[in-house]
């Protein structure tokens, strides 16, 4: 009896000291402090304000800029455009995922994880097992994986190649903007929730879940499609796959594929962190907004037309500072005729390479000539999720930075242009950003803990 009373006393004592804070409001204790690491290959871009849309010229007198001061929160951005080899990791992952699903039908214990061995939880559907390597030439495996290859009548020189039409990446995303959209037909009602587009969502949130199925293989024919009367066959055949081009920027990627890559990159990192007990997940990788892209490209130099801060495309030694088209018919004065290896030219003051030239870059924003007028001045962003059946004008996405085939006007950090979200080009690539969680990089969340200590 004495032992029971002793145990009860200990429990009461621990409960009163551990979670209640002696009756004071102290928050949940013993939470692990979080310090956001700099993602591999990314540069930190601090928060700040700048005048968006300031440039030297408006060649077409299109009035697309309409300068205004905006503020952008801190974020990380890829130092270079995504390269062929980095994007190939995505393609291989999709290829191997499809293979593991097929092999799970004959060897489920090797290629699928159906049960949590520690807790006994049954996974339905099962997870892919990435610990077991695929035996592409095993007797059983070879027969099952045959359907992943081109049929014999489509093979060139009897080469057995993966059918890239089957490399589809399936993912889901939550349309939180739709969930938050105000329903003006409900205005006047007292219930605040009814003013939002939430009648169904309050009962079943799955109405805001969107499914995407995207073929991830680059369109390697863009070199011929973009330039009909030009001998670009070598680039068509080798640019994406040959190791000589591994560190060149990937092209032939449409906006939807670029966004799918960002989703995959987030999941890849979060799944790795999930295996490490107690590690918090990261914020999503995504395409930069138009305002983020311009702020990053300026490198802290407000009102200057180019990322390097000066008004010229050459340095003091007469060398070009980016890969573009300097003169009519002359592509080579800057050192490259088509895309060249990333990070060939010096970075801007925030460590970003090729923000002007080499290849232009997709942004997250939909294109509207007047978007500067109606977007907010804090993290401005114009988003429109175009449906397949929407007219082309609603599928326009902002493209920034200019490319190897553009004149210097398109190299200016303020110059805006667009391309359609389902269109791939030989002169458009992309890079990712990741929001910074907090105010600034040098903020220390642990500093606030002293207010709870006596």
Domain that holds residue 181: 174-211
**Are residues 378 and 295 both part of a single domain?**
yes
Instruction: Establish if 413 belongs to a structural domain.
Output: yes
- State residue 11's pLDDT score: 46
**Are residues 267 and 307 both part of a single domain?**
yes
Of 133, 152, 167, the domain-final residue: 167
**Are residues 291 and 438 both part of a single domain?**
yes
**Are residues 283 and 267 both part of a single domain?**
yes
Of 136, 167, 198, the domain-final residue: 167
Torsion angle of C-alpha atoms 234, 236, 239, 241, degrees rounded to 10:
-110
- State residue 328's pLDDT score: 84
Instruction: Establish if 441 belongs to a structural domain.
Output: yes
Instruction: Establish if 286 belongs to a structural domain.
Output: yes
Q: What is the mean pLDDT of each run of 10 residues along the chain (454 residues)?
A: 51 49 84 87 96 77 82 97 98 96 89 84 87 89 92 88 96 86 57 54 78 96 94 94 97 98 96 82 95 96 88 86 87 88 95 96 96 94 92 96 93 94 97 94 61 47
Structural domains of the chain, count: 3
- State residue 232's pLDDT score: 92
- State residue 445's pLDDT score: 57
**Are residues 435 and 356 both part of a single domain?**
yes
b/e burial code for range 121-160 (CB count within 10 A of at least 16 → b)? eeeeeeebbeeeebeeeeeebeebbeebebeeeeeeeeee
420 forms beta bridges with 396
**Are residues 207 and 294 both part of a single domain?**
no
**Are residues 294 and 392 both part of a single domain?**
yes
**Are residues 159 and 257 both part of a single domain?**
no
Instruction: Establish if 26 belongs to a structural domain.
Output: no
**Are residues 121 and 158 both part of a single domain?**
yes
Instruction: Establish if 25 belongs to a structural domain.
Output: no
What is the side-by-side strand order in the sheet with 433-435?
A: 42-45, 75-78, 433-435
Instruction: Establish if 162 belongs to a structural domain.
Output: yes
**Are residues 205 and 234 both part of a single domain?**
no
- State residue 96's pLDDT score: 96
* CATH code for the domain in which residue 350 is found: 3.90.1580.10
**Are residues 275 and 381 both part of a single domain?**
yes
Q: Encoding tokens for residue 378?
A: 């804090």
Instruction: Establish if 1 belongs to a structural domain.
Output: no
**Are residues 248 and 264 both part of a single domain?**
yes
> If phi over 0 gives left and psi between -120 and 50 gives alpha, with beta otherwise, what is residue 30?
left
- State residue 16's pLDDT score: 47
- State residue 292's pLDDT score: 98
Instruction: Establish if 417 belongs to a structural domain.
Output: yes
């Amino acid at each position: 009896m004495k032992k029971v009373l002793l145990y009860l006393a200990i429990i009461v004592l621990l409960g009163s000291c551990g979670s209640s804070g002696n009756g004071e409001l102290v928050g949940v204790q013993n939470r692990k402090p979080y310090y956001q690491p700099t993602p591999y290959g990314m540069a930190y871009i601090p928060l700040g304000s700048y005048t968006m849309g300031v440039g030297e010229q408006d060649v077409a007198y299109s009035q697309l800029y309409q300068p205004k001061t905006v503020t952008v929160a801190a974020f990380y951005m890829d130092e270079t455009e995504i390269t062929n080899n980095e994007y190939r990791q995505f393609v291989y992952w999709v290829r191997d995922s499809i293979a593991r699903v097929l092999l799970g039908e004959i060897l489920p214990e090797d290629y699928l994880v159906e049960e949590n061995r520690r807790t006994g939880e049954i996974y339905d559907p099962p997870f892919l097992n990435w610990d077991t390597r695929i035996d592409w030439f095993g007797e059983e495996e070879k027969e099952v994986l045959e359907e992943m290859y081109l049929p014999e009548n489509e093979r060139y020189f009897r080469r057995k190649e993966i059918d890239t039409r089957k490399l589809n990446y399936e993912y889901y995303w939550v349309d939180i903007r739709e969930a938050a959209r105000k329903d003006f037909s409900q205005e006047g009602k007292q219930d605040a929730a009814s003013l939002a587009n939430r009648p169904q969502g309050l009962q079943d949130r799955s109405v805001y879940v969107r499914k995407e199925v995207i073929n991830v293989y680059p369109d390697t024919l863009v070199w011929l499609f973009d330039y009909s009367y030009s001998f670009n066959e070598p680039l068509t055949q080798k640019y994406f796959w040959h190791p000589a081009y591994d560190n060149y920027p990937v092209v032939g990627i449409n906006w939807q594929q670029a966004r799918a890559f960002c989703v995959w990159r987030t999941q890849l990192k979060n799944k790795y962190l999930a295996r490490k007990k107690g590690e918090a997940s990261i914020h999503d990788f995504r395409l930069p907004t138009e305002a983020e892209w311009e702020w990053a490209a300026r490198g802290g130099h407000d009102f200057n037309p180019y990322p390097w801060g000066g008004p010229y495309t050459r340095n003091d030694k007469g060398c070009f500072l980016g890969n573009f088209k300097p003169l009519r018919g002359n592509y080579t004065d800057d050192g490259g005729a088509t895309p060249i290896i990333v990070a060939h030219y010096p970075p801007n003051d925030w460590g970003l390479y090729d923000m002007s030239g080499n290849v232009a870059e997709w942004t997250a924003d939909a294109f509207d000539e007047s978007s500067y007028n109606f977007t907010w001045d804090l993290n401005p962003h114009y988003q429109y999720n175009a449906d397949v059946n929407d007219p082309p004008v609603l599928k326009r996405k902002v493209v920034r930075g200019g490319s190897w085939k553009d004149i210097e006007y398109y190299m200016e950090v303020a110059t805006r242009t667009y391309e359609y979200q389902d269109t791939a080009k030989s002169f458009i690539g992309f890079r990712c950003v990741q929001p910074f969680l907090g105010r600034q990089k040098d903020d220390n969340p642990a500093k606030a803990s002293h207010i709870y200590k006596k």
